[in-house]
Amino acid sequence: MKITVIGAGNVGATTAQRLAEKEYGDIVLIDIVEGLPQGKGLDLMEAGPIYNYDCKIIGTNSYEETEDSDLVIITSGLPRKPGMSRDDLVKVNTEIVKSVVGQAVQKSPDTILIVVSNPLDVMTYVTYKVSKFPRERVIGMAGILDTSRLRTFVAMELGVSLENIHAFVLGGHGDTMVPLARYTTVAGIPVTELLPKDKLDAIIKRTRDGGAEIVGLLKTGSAFYAPAASIVEMVDTIVKDKKKILPCTVLCKGEYGLNDIFIGVPVKLGKNGAEQIIEIKLNQEETEALKKSAETVRGLCTGICL
């Protein structure tokens, strides 16, 4: 496999590190800042003898080296700063994503695109429009990260293993995300039987605010360890054709009653990308929350000039 990571900042570089350590294939790390991807790429190569990975890692400022990539991961864009919402980033990151996608798909017309740039749902829409790829090959990473945060907070509250927690967070990657308490289980036990409503509500709120909480603590940047781990989980199931069902941002064409909108839903991932949207039964409250989230995303997409 050949995997290109666009953006050599914290998310991109950490993703490249984790991909190298798992030896999925050769890695191209690209950034507009001269020396940055080259330095980080060389540093990662020099860690190979210690961590016992033999993949080739190239740092570059040119898209020539990205040619014929099997996967392209887009992390480029400005990160959030304290006081900024993901939505504040729409205009500036739209221009960045338009540029990098156009150059990437020219060199790798058969690749699968994984979008990480914020605001995630909108940037996935931008990527789809610019690339003109089929919807199966344009996938946004958000639900896995949001779900991981929900699982973490539930495990912390109950004092149990993180491995015991299974959950789904659907909807847009932002304030209108839809954490599904009804589908959250602890070793198969519904979390609603283990935690009172007020505790669950507090966990759901913290999940929605998870990114902002880290931005507020770091002050000069945003989360990168958990986002990188979420990207790698997507890569793992695609490269190994696992058919794993994960919450991802994809284009809905009638699923969940939603049309022509990129939103987080359960997706079966495999070697062909987003191979199937899994429709789970939602109650009226959950359905309305998902539709509200979709309309918020649609509103942000409406004002974009492509």
Known binding residues are 7-12, 31, 80, 86, 93, 116-118, 149
| Residues 146 and 177 sit within 8 Å (Cβ to Cβ) | yes
Angle at alpha carbon of residue 64, lines to 63 and 68, rounded to 5°: 95
What values do phi and psi take at 23, rounded to 5?
Answer: 55, 45
> What CA–CA distance (Å, rounded) separates 63 from 59?
11
Task: Give the C-alpha separation, 16 to 258, whole Å.
Answer: 34
Residue 180 in tokens: 């599904």
Give dist(CA 131, CA 127) in Å, integer: 6
Token pair 């699923």: residue:
255
Numbered residues of the known binding site for NAD(+): 7-12, 31, 93, 116-118
Work out the burial of residue 79: count CB atoms within 10 Å of its CB; fewer than 13 is exposed, 13-18 middle, 19 or more buried: buried
Q: Find, among 148, 142, 170, 128, the residue nearest to 257 by Cα.
A: 170
Catalytic: which of 18, 173, 291, 298? 173
Looking from the CA of 187 toward its CB, the CA atoms found within 13 Å total 6
Residues of the binding site for substrate: 80, 86, 118, 149
Q: Is 166 a catalytic residue?
A: no
What sign for the dihedral angle of Cα 243, 139, 153, 182? negative
Q: Check: CB of residue 178 under 8 Å from CB of residue 205.
A: no
Strands 26-30 and 189-190, bridge-based pairing = unpaired
**Residues annotated as part of the active site:** 173
